Structure formats: structure tokens, C-alpha cells
Structure 1
Amino acid sequence: MAQVVLSYGDALLRSSDITLLDPPHWLNDSIIGFIFEFLASSLDSAQCQKVAFLSPEVSQFIKCCGTEAPNFLAPLDLASKDLVLLTVNDNEGPEAGGTHWSLLVYIRRFSTFLHYDSFPGNNAPHARLMAKNMSNIFGGKPDYKDEDSPVQHNSYDCGMYVVCVAEALCQQYLHVHDKMNLCNITPQFVTEKRLKWKEIIRRLSSNSTTS
């Protein structure tokens, strides 16, 4: 088994996971889970009360568990959150797998689920199912909308688009922007973000070994 490089919150990264940040690799649950964990930990205490990043494992369970989702998610107190971000995967079963990632976002202010897919239309049925399974948590009947999203220009960057869009939406929402602007998320931006996340992991790993 590959060497453990970093333990960060609930995320555990091995050397084999880190290599996936080099193109043309597809991000797995571990890398996306770490990035979501890191983004959540970067929020201050007040922001943490407003925002929830759900790991890919939790997100996949939501899709598979149907009407049991509200009971399963009760400890997370999602009804009190202003912004909930979770991954969508086209895998049909509860285990890790699939071929495409996208992002589902619940915005309490608008009582709406927004779906951002870098390969438009691919994950819409899965996102709609997840929104349906979660709808009782938020009261009423939240709307659902497939939003315009930055589009990937290759077959492997879907996970990177998920984390880039999630980070941008979180920052814009916390700064009270009603119009979400994602025009800066270009193919070049996404490629550069791969390098930046590798550097963040390297720095965290170095700090943990010297502390």
C-alpha cells in the first residue's frame, strides 16, 4: 500500500493520491475530500456556522440511501446552513468509482439547489436525485436548476472543476454576491490550481513532520 503523505482532519492522503494532481489524471474521492476539508478549515468560526462542505463519501450515500438521507444527515444540522456544497458522481453504487464529477450546491437564501456540471447534462439525473433525497431537510420544496458552468476541454479535469467552482462559490457567497461569477475558471486556471494544491499538500506534510 502506498505511503501516507498527509493526515488532515478526516482526510488521509497517500502518495498514490498526490500523483492524481498531475494531468492527465482524474481526481479521486480522497483528493476531493481533502480539498473540501481544507476549504472548510480555512473558514473562520462565524463562516463555519453558515457553510457545509460534504465529502464525496457522504454525497454518494445521499444519492443511494433515498428517503433515509434526512435521518443520516441530522447530526450535520444542514437546515441551519446558508450554503451546502457536495459532489455528484455518476456511479450507481455506494462504493467509490464512476467516471464523472459535478457539483451540487444548496443556497438557503434562494431555497434552491444549483447544479454545476463541467460536461453539461452528464450528471443531471444524479444531481436531481440527490436534491430530491435532501429536500425534506430544508423544509418546503426547494427549486432545482442546472446552472451554466465553466466547461472542461478534456476528459479528465471534471474533479478539478468541481473544487474550483466550489471554492469560488463559497467565497462569493460569503461576500454577499448575488450573481455568481465563474468566468475566471478557465482551462489554464484549472491547470495552475493542480500545482497550487500540490504545493499546499507539500507544505502541510512538511509542517506535520517537523512539528
Structure 2
Amino acid sequence: MADDGEIVLNFNNSLIRKSDVKLLQGKHWINDIIIGFCFEYFEKEQFNHSADKLAFISPNVTQFILLANGEELAVQLAPLGLPDRQYVFLAINDNLSFDEAGGSHWSLLVYVRSKQEFQHYDPLNGSNKHIAKQLAYKLQPHVHAPMGRMKIIEMDGPQQKNGYDCGVFVIAMAEHLCREFCEHYSISINDMVTSESVVKKRQQLHDLIYQVAKEFAV
């Protein structure tokens, strides 16, 4: 019997096991580990040509932002250099507990400095709207967003048709937006990120993990 705890990939801060990879195969809700790896890969590999513009905050740090106080937050976020980034990406989970893993839905929050606004892409019709607003208010001083009226825009983004693909939608939407922001990609996000493309994205991510594991093998 295969050991689901076997390590498949150790990439920077991402440690992926077989049990994590299996979530990409079939009708499974993907976890923070897969999303965290994709965010790291975007920042350090795929879009490293725009590393001075982009910041990807890992899901576990996003959870910390939601629940931490101001002083703790400042210490945690200072090394990320968020005031110097044009675009800040965060994957939001509806779990509000420090002590227990869980949650049932992922969405994407992006700070766009040129528009001085937070954009929320929720693949399930604003299910995480309240949490996105909390997160934006916590982040405002740390990205040096203008004080005063907070701009949080619920975007007309791609919508999932089931209860388990939200995390893959978040990854696909973040990738598309990076292309749009940094590579002058002009095709609409709603045309590119669809239920059909997300099914293919699962296999692409599965293959990417093993490809990166091979490339970074010691």
C-alpha cells in the first residue's frame, strides 16, 4: 500500500505529501498546502520576472492576519515588503479558528495599488464577502492603502458549479491575473477560467508538482 505521508516535494516553504497530491485527482476540495505551493511557484518561478511587483501571501499567513492583533501582525508582515508591491494576492478561507484546520470555501483577494482598491474574486457568489472585508481592513495599513473609505470591490469573476473546485479556481484566477497584470494578457478572466479549464488545471497542477520535484531533486 502506498504511503500517503511520503514526501513528494520540498519547495522553499512548501512540503507536499502524496496525500496532498491525491486531492488533485477527483472531486476533492484542495487544501492550503497545494494553494501555498502554487503561490510560491508563481512568485519564485513562473512570474519571477515581475517579483518586484507581486506579493503572494500564503494561506496560513492569511489566517494569521485575520486573527492576530496589530503588533503581532506588523512583525509578521514587515519582511514581505508589501508597501513596495503593486499587487498583493491572498487566498481566503472561511475557517476562523487558529487551533483547528477546516473551512469549506476558498476565494481570492487582490490588492491593486494603481486603483487603490481590494478586489475580491469569489467563485461562489460572494460567500466569503464578510471575511474579505475583515481581511482588507486588517491589511490596509500594512500595504499602505489610502486611509479613509476602504475600496473593496466584489468582482464579476468565474463561478464554480460544484462544492469542491473553489481552491483550483483561486489558483487559476491568480495565475490569470498575474498574466494580465504583468504580461499584458488581454483575454477576459471569465473566458479563460471555466469549469472545463479547472478540470484540466487539476491535472496540470498534479504534473507540475512532480516536474518541480524532479527539477529540484538533490
Q: TM-score range by the shorter chain?
A: over 0.9
| 1:69-80 mapped onto 2 (5 Å cutoff) | 69-80=73-84
Shift of residue 75, structure 1, vs aligned partner: 1.2
Shift of residue 76, structure 1, vs aligned partner: 0.8
> Whole-Å Cα distance in 2 between the matches of residues 58 and 115 of structure 1?
18
> Whole-Å Cα distance in 2 between the matches of residues 22 and 194 of structure 1?
7
Relative to structure 1, the CA distance from residue 45 to residue 155 in structure 2 (aligned partners, 3 Å threshold; closer, same or farther) is: closer
- Decide whether the 8 Å contact of 2:158 with 2:189 is kept in 1: no
- Decide whether the 8 Å contact of 1:70 with 1:134 is kept in 2: no
Relative to structure 1, the CA distance from residue 50 to residue 155 in structure 2 (aligned partners, 3 Å threshold; closer, same or farther) is: same
Question: Which residue does the alignment assign to 2:111?
Answer: 106
> Whole-Å Cα distance in 2 between the matches of residues 112 and 61 of structure 1?
22
Relative to structure 1, the CA distance from residue 178 to residue 108 in structure 2 (aligned partners, 3 Å threshold; closer, same or farther) is: farther
- Decide whether the 8 Å contact of 1:114 with 1:145 is kept in 2: yes
> Whole-Å Cα distance in 2 between the matches of residues 108 and 43 of structure 1?
22
| 1:18-167 mapped onto 2 (5 Å cutoff) | 18-43=21-46, 47-68=50-71, 69-95=73-99, 96-137=101-142, 138-141=144-147, 142-167=150-175
Shift of residue 67, structure 1, vs aligned partner: 3.1
Moved more, 96-105 or 41-50: 41-50
Shift of residue 24, structure 1, vs aligned partner: 0.5
CA RMSD of aligned residues (A): 1.9
> Whole-Å Cα distance in 1 between the matches of residues 156 and 47 of structure 2?
29
- Decide whether the 8 Å contact of 1:70 with 1:136 is kept in 2: no
1:76-132: CA deviations, max 9, x gaps? 110100000001110011243211000000000000000000001210111100000
> Whole-Å Cα distance in 2 between the matches of residues 117 and 133 of structure 1?
19
- Decide whether the 8 Å contact of 1:106 with 1:112 is kept in 2: yes
- Decide whether the 8 Å contact of 1:85 with 1:103 is kept in 2: yes
- What SS is found at the alignment partner of 1:162? helix
Shift of residue 179, structure 1, vs aligned partner: 9.0
- Decide whether the 8 Å contact of 2:113 with 2:145 is kept in 1: no
- Decide whether the 8 Å contact of 1:169 with 1:180 is kept in 2: no
Moved more, 127-136 or 59-68: 59-68
- What SS is found at the alignment partner of 2:23? helix
Q: TM-score, with normalisation over the residues of structure 1?
A: 0.92
> Whole-Å Cα distance in 2 between the matches of residues 48 and 206 of structure 1?
24
> Whole-Å Cα distance in 1 between the matches of residues 192 and 145 of structure 2?
34
Identity rate of aligned residues, in percent? 36
> Whole-Å Cα distance in 2 between the matches of residues 16 and 73 of structure 1?
30
Shift of residue 27, structure 1, vs aligned partner: 0.6
- What SS is found at the alignment partner of 2:138? helix
Shift of residue 23, structure 1, vs aligned partner: 2.0
Q: TM-score, with normalisation over the residues of structure 2?
A: 0.90
Ranges in structure 1 where 5+ consecutive residues have no aligned partner = none
Ranges in structure 2 where 5+ consecutive residues have no aligned partner = none
